[in-house]
Amino acid sequence: MNPPDEFLKHAAECERMAKSARKPEDKETWRRMAERWLRCADVFTKQTLAARDNAPYRRARTPTLRWAHH
């Protein structure tokens, strides 16, 4: 599983815990944890895309034929 999917899975679990929590402060804690997991997924995705976009461009080298220069 890739990290964003894993983070989203944890966020969903925290949301389920928030729904089943009885105390308001526990609900709020679980919701904050879910928000953090969602932020982790977002940050990871943005950083991965930025790293990919900033990677040095490598052009495929065209092999030269040695006999063509003689």
What is the C-alpha separation between 15 and 37, in angstroms, rounded?
A: 11
CA-to-CA separations, 50 to 12, 36, 41, 59, in angstroms, rounded: 26, 21, 14, 19
Whether residue 13 is contained in a domain is answered as: yes
Contact between 69 and 36 (Cβ < 8 Å): no
Whether residue 62 is contained in a domain is answered as: no
Range of the domain at 40: 3-50
Residue 70 is predicted with a pLDDT of 55
Whether residue 68 is contained in a domain is answered as: no
Whether residue 38 is contained in a domain is answered as: yes
Q: In which band, very low, low, confident or very high, does the pLDDT at 10 lie, cut at 50, 70 and 90?
A: very high
Residue 27 is predicted with a pLDDT of 98
Whether residue 67 is contained in a domain is answered as: no
What's the pLDDT tens digit per position in 12-62?
A: 999 999 999 999 999 999 999 999 999 999 999 999 998 888 877 655 566
What would the two tokens of residue 23 be?
Answer: 């105390």
More confident residue, 58 or 3: 3
Count of residues in the chain: 70
Domain count along the chain: 1
The closest of 38, 29, 47 to 11, measured between CA atoms, is: 38
Whether residue 56 is contained in a domain is answered as: no
Whether residue 37 is contained in a domain is answered as: yes
